[in-house]
A and B are shown apart, each in its own frame.
Chain A
Amino acid sequence: MSQSLRLFAVAIWGVASSLLPAAAEAPQVFTLDNGMEVVVVEDHRAPVVVHMVWYRVGGADDPAGQGGIAHYLEHLMFKATDTMAEGEFSDTVEANGGTDNAFTTSDYTAYYQRIASDRLGLMMRMEADRMVNLRLDRSDWLPERDVILRERGQRTDSSPDRQFGEQMRAALFLNHPYGRPVIGWRHEIETLTGQIATDFYRVHYAPNNAILVVAGDVQADEVLALAEQYYGPIPAVEDIPARVRPAEPPQLAERRLRMTDSRVGQPYFNRLYLAPIRRSGDQREAAALEVLATLLGASSQTSVLERELTYNQGLTLTAWAGYQSTALDYGYFTLGAMPATGVSLQEAEDAMDAVLADFIETGVDLEQLDRVRMQIRAEAIFQEDSARTRAEALGAALAVGLTPQDQEDWVDVVLSITPEEIVAAARSLDRRQSVTGWLTGEDQ
């Protein structure tokens, strides 16, 4: 039970403190003449392949006032092209026994299919087609905009936790577009059109702004040949805008929010700190934060916060920590807890801050660190069982400017972090660069 509460709490923030896996077999990397990157992860245990194309564009690249356009375009990519009818893409995948989907984050947009490996060429032909041939008719884009409003209604507006998360991120980022929701604010979604989507598509969708990741029962040289056949002929676009987003000014003032909603069943608080991210060739600071989040909050029983707040002091029902390490510009570190009955949010928050201060004072429990390291090593073995998981982590890393080597190195860097570096990471969490929010029901 505490496990499911924990999963829920983490899910609110989209922050997991799990560590990315080390690849069993090193991924093989190529670059096509038109600039498209190609990454292949071979796994021959089942005759299945995952085919993914990642574009280096996401919600944080939406023009001001047009929030949600990157995500809207993702939906519209399933409509007609010059050569395929509306819906034909997914029809064809399905008729070949495959599944397909797509997702958009602040930093990238990815499309993928899982299918029998002998259908890879077909997937590439269709994905290459919609990279350049999308054709948006009003009869397609108008109802799809309603679908997105319904999506927002269902996933965000119907959930006080999600709305609270939006408000928190908006307060954390004073200037950077990470403060805007990927799906967009409702009033901006309502103004989006097929033309705006087409303009965005022409600027950002091109082979030299894309990464192809193929994982499964394939030979790398055959993948490369297919990629050259299908993606190779698409010309590069010369003037893809550099991804320079508005930067954060010095953050001088801690922010505090309080949101009240009748739909809240149990009050809790959460805190987000602005934090550094993994940098290519320089991942130690991020790795230290990753280990810190794991020690503070990963285990329902033995993590520092749960042990102290939930077990020893009995002040919380659950407490958590998380760290978003992989992004283009900024990460964030999360701490929070759900107070036990009869304990106020202020008491719980004060107790958590005391635990954090004590952690900095007394340092790392070396036995706990050993256990965490053991789990990280084991996770690398478990992940060998899923080429898809490895391919997804790799795609996400490449899409934010990391290299396959960075990704290979990550587990080793994490394992090499010292107790001193972990305490230094804890010290680096600066309240002036944070937002703390309380979410309560109306009678709480």
Chain B
Amino acid sequence: MKRLIAALSLIAAFATQAAADISIQPVTSPIGRQAWLSEEHSIPFVSIQVIFTGGSSLDPEGKAGAVSLMTALLNEGAGDLDAQGYAAALESLAGTITFEAGRDQVSMTIRALTENRDQVIDLAMLALTEARFDDASIERVRAQMIASQEREARNPNTIARRAFADLGYAGHPYATPTDGTPETIAALTPEDILNAHRAAFTSDLVYFGAAGDITAQDLGDIVDRIVADLPTSNTPLPSYHTFDAPSGVTVIDYPAPQSVIQFGHAGLRWDDEDFMTAYLINSAFGGGGFNSRLMQELREQRGLTYGVYTGLASYRFGDSFVGSFSTANETVPQAIDLVRAQFEWLANGGLTQEDLERIQTYLTGAYALRFDGNDSIAQILASMQFQGYPLNYVNIRNDLVRAITLDDIHRVSARLAQPDALQFVVVGQPVGLD
């Protein structure tokens, strides 16, 4: 691959920074719940995305990974079906039901052929409300999760990411990995798993998106089935934590010819009125593509890295302006100095009118590329609601992008970029760092 797929794990907000000439209809279910639908009958299947607010942020202290382990157990048998019986039933329908735990949410993704949609929904309901959590399943999935975390604990990218979060979110759930650590996973009890289930799936903080071959009425019925047997939320969400890593360079020894570097500082709140402007700034500065300032300086001009990326990692309860790259151990000091200099450049009004127009053209033109099939559209519709965007956002989004001026860019750049606050976590064996 010529370029990396963006290496950073970013908030779902970015998926919603697109717009398209698809029509989104608001659906109200019989009991009055809301869902967004992109109805398109040309191919006989539907994708449905459900987002439950909370996710691993709900893990109690010392029980990191509880929501993740619970989520992983949902397709390990439900109702009368054991793990293999459940999987076989789903396979015979060629349906897909996946659950995924994130920082701030658990998502449920359903894909079903029109011909057997009701049966797939039945299985989804079974997993959601009657998961068995058998001891044998718990132990098997626990062992898999621990093995996976043992691998992650030796992955230099993960080591860098976690150390960076540790520095900035000490004492907050965001400092602990979503999937927990081998120690916390090993200590989870069946009761912890049941509690996690009770906390993660609630009928009030949930959002629905659907795309494909389904009517508003059928979707409304499915929405009501999903919320019918769920409790209302009663688990407190974490408080907001300002990312407060100290400035400086932290080195973690790791045997490899190249170092992985994670860098950044506090970011912008996801609901900040300047978030869109910051999004444009990030796109021009390090948001991907050959043309970003950082890519030009580190890769194109000097061959120091295969790729360098930044992102606005703005979660519900904390945010950072963060980037990463990998470079030879010998060139770590040079690359760090260059990144610092680019943050200075950005903070001091480096972006020009030409940069702004280029990024506006790109972002407004690329919007349609995001709406790439039923799965993508359903996911975008659900996450737009999760992020609190209005229904007409897709229609006005490009106008919002075009309305941003160079004054806005410079004002927000000065807020966003703080060269003196930069923390660099270096995982490797860098040479020549003071």
Contacts and interface: CB of A to CB of B under 8 A. Distances in A.
A190 interface: no
A301 B380 CA distance: 30
A114 B362 CA distance: 12
B88 A371 contact: yes
B378 to A, nearest CB: 11
Contact of B92 (A145, A338, A371): A371
B402 interface: no
Given A1-B68, A150-B326, A386-B373, A46 B20 contact: yes
B147 A266 contact: yes
A143 interface: yes
B374 A1 contact: no
A153 B329 CA distance: 10
B258 A153 contact: yes
Contacts of A149: 328
Given A4-B148, A264-B154, 18 more contacts: A47-B21, A78-B2, A87-B300, A97-B363, A97-B367, A99-B366, A99-B369, A101-B2, A114-B369, A145-B303, A147-B306, A150-B328, A154-B305, A154-B306, A377-B94, A378-B45, A385-B374, A386-B373
Contacts of B87: 299-302
A423 interface: no
Interface string B66-97: 00110010011000000110111001111000
Contacts, number: 201
A200 interface: no
10 contacts: A45-B40, A87-B290, A90-B289, A94-B289, A94-B358, A114-B369, A154-B326, A158-B257, A310-B140, A382-B45
Interface residues of A, number: 78
Contact of A378 (B94, B98, B141): B94
Interface of A: 1-5, 8, 24, 45-48, 74-75, 78, 87, 90-91, 94-99, 101-103, 114-116, 142-151, 153-155, 157-158, 262-266, 299-302, 307, 310-311, 314, 317-318, 338, 340-341, 367-368, 370-372, 374-375, 377-379, 381-382, 384-386, 388
A153 B328 contact: yes
Nearest to B95: A378
A113 B87 CA distance: 38
A153 B257 CA distance: 7
B123 to A, nearest CB: 13
Nearest to B303: A146
A268 to B, nearest CB: 9
A78 B291 CA distance: 12
A158 B258 contact: yes
A381 B42 CA distance: 11
Given A101-B3, A265-B151, A265-B154, A94 B144 contact: no
Interface string B203-241: 000000000100000000000000000000000000000
Contacts of A8: 148, 151
Q: Categorize the interface residue count of chain B.
A: 35 or more
Say what secondary structure dominates the interface of chain B. Answer: mixed
**10 closest cross-chain pairs (CB), A and B:** A97-B365, A146-B303, A378-B94, A1-B72, A143-B303, A301-B87, A265-B150, A265-B151, A153-B258, A151-B306
B156 A5 contact: no
B42 A45 contact: yes
B122 interface: no
A115 B362 CA distance: 11
A374 B305 contact: no
B368 interface: yes
A364 to B, nearest CB: 15
A341 B40 CA distance: 49
B365 to A, nearest CB: 1
Contacts of B257: 153, 157-158
Nearest to A263: B154
Contacts of A318: 144
A307 B307 CA distance: 41
A441 to B, nearest CB: 8
A95 B361 contact: yes
B83 A317 contact: no
Interface in B351-384: 358, 361-369, 371-375
